[in-house]
Structure 1
Amino acid sequence: MSETPYVSPSVVVIGAGIAGLTAAYRLSCAGVAVTVIEASYHAGGRMSMAVREGYRIDRGAQFLSTGYEIIPELLRDVDLFDSLKTCSPWSGIVRNGKIRRVHSRGPATLASSGLLKWCDLLRLGWHSGLDARRSKALPLNDYSAWHEWDDVEAAGWLKKRYGHEVVEYLLEPMLQGFYFQAPEGNSRALPAWMNSFGARHCQTIALDQGMGSLTGALAAKLDVRLNTPALSVHHKADRAIIETSRGLLEADRVIIATTAPVARQLCPPETPLLQTLLDTRYSSTINLGIAFRDGLGETRIPDDVYGVLIPRNERKQIAAIGIESRKSRSLVPQGELLNVMLDGEAGKRLVNASEDAVLSEVLPELERYVPAAHQYMSFVHLNRWPQAEPLSPVGRSRAIAAYRASCTSMQRVVLAGDYLSVPTTEGAAHSGIWAADFLLDALNVRSR
């Protein structure tokens, strides 16, 4: 008797950010028939870039880390691993109006630069070392694994443990510069996770061809349908039906790999647990790519610093400034390109404001560090992110773990996306890997 021909199962992935593309690529490599639909005109989401007059502007995500595991493997698969570049070990943090140079592998520079007092540095070293030892076995890309730390709010815990100066001049500017949010309202799991990157001697790295080169390469290997927003997801017998702006799609299963607000529209929560996850709130920001064809002119940014963080006691609205030629010279055909990121409060307030209104607030502050910015700048490219990064109130890590434990092999829809992991591209990719692997098990997919 002949065997029944094997028919590959089908999956529709909604969302072509790094979470959705990673999930789709994983499934495709296993022989699953995958279709990716994306509401916008380009793939990549917040891991994408714009090219303007030869300048490559990272629109959202700016950096990677040697602590990442999934992203480097994806880069190998698409022949981009050699485009990884290690950034300068020097960054800057402002105190009393001056940029203090800090070395990523030289913790003593936190004090020798004048950023912190020596007593504060010793206190930081002692407690961060204790925390790092306790969390040394936890993964850096899976926020659900940090559930034991997800018990109290960060602000009070950090101040009690590290003191006011460390919180205000190191931890707060890191939270705002990286994720556009404050210690207040977040769980201590978030800064505990951040601490592990330093404790494990992770280095900041960048993509020589821009962050969008990875998502673009992944999309090129997949069936990605752009400008095709999903309108609804429902079931019919043993199939999932996805209504899109271009008609209906059918599949065995669906992965919704979008932000939480979009997922909530497509998959109204049926349980308190799902409601908690899909109610995840986000920080907002605006990323300004500012090109200077003839260079910056006079600048107060040290020559070897690739980025500057600005604490809330020092800033009006700018949380961070990236000097792109020091990230990768290939991003900047001539002169210089700055990536200026607003803090969460300014981002929320200005996200829908006109370009002139944004610049009227940003340029005077930028000129504290680049005095003639308005005279030398050639163009400005604004990227507005109403949902920049998921917030992490107490309970989010535990909710992710509970959601994954509750999933069954029979369910048609599985969730992925930034709100289901740590707020990095690696975390989003991990959520995609988890969703894909869950479906491969549920569908009992044969090896190719």
Structure 2
Amino acid sequence: MRLLASLYESADLPDAVVTPSGSLSRHDLLEQASRLAGRIAGAPIVAVEATPDLSTVVAVTGALLAGVPIVPIPPDAGDLERAHILRDSGAAALLSGGDLAELPVTRETLDAALVLYTSGTTGAPKGVVISPGAIAADLDALAGAWQWTADDTLVHGLPLYHVHGLVLGVLGPLRLGCRLIHTGRPTPQAYAAAPGTVYFGVPTVWSRIAADPAAARALAPARLLVSGSAPLPAPVFDGLAALTGRSPVERYGMTETLITVSARAGGERRPGQVGLPLPGVGTRLVDESGAPLPSDGVTIGHLQVQGPTLLDGYLSPDGVRPPELTGGWFPTGDVATIAPDGWHRIVGRASTDLIKTGGYRVGAGEVEDALLLHPAVREAAVVGIPHPDLGEQITAFVVADPVAPADLIDFVAARLAAHKRPRAVHLVDGLPRNAMGKVQKSLLIAH
């Protein structure tokens, strides 16, 4: 199919895909995937146990060759989550480690490439239906933005059931014809030992690499260090730049939109900002009533996007339910600022990262970055806790060496406007994170 054209058109590469479980040449991958495609052809949809190894790459490739939509299942999914995904998707089969188990068919044939389930923070996980055309448009736009070609070697250790690890990290190399090295786990040592030109990571990964100078320096020959899935703290950005000689490229996206905004390989990189819209993508800011807001680099608004990378809709018992758009614009649920030159800064989720306190609107990320400048602070997460007078109280959860909470409050107050300082600081042993390294702030708010 068109999405995987490079498998047919590119010359063979002996180790086109490398994982801890082994490696495959491009021809061997095509042969194994084609055999699998013949076994599942005609199925309405198949689920894939998305372990970080060759079996998942073969399964995904085979399903795409067969024109069968894929539902990746996290290998560490609990029984309830797993049962929900299988039941809700109506998968006719489950591919696991090369084995194929048939399931009761409960759905008509679906015209899609992927069904990715959201994290379910506001209810049961929803199946996001993504077309081959949306994936192709996104990967081609990123290839231009990152100067990503068949000559690259991509290295990452990200889960293979999200946009970052699966769409960019597996389908990207398959479409563009470049080599893929999956490290199994995204440890500093594994990244340092894998020779690549492009490395993908989430902020947690990059933070650990920046804290390991030897591992970070080993990445100096790389062409691009790409960070996404959550905001990269400015101190980590600066640390990577100092140790590797290369400022990381940040990008923004979500399951429903794929990647829509990114810094460019040949352009400027700014800490705390994710760059410019990709070709064909439009963005805008609106207020709570939907009225447009200015792109002045200061005004925080609700981010909306439009373009060819949007989802087809959400899976429902009756088929695919189209997303609710406003004049063709998709509401991301994130809040951001857009500078006059088009650069975007993602403040965070509207539900947890835009804090309304004492009549002010404060972005949690700005306060977190200020806290991370303190030499004792290793991690920080800031949320708004309901408050009878302020509306919301700026509250920080901090992983740090011994330090007095009052000292951290004063430290922030000396660097930001007084109304942006935390009113309370809780010292904790760790922050709750999901598989992609994002802090689960809803758990902190309920603390």
TM range (shorter): under 0.3
Q: Which has the higher contact order (CA 8 A, sep 6+)?
A: 1
Greater percentage in helix: 1
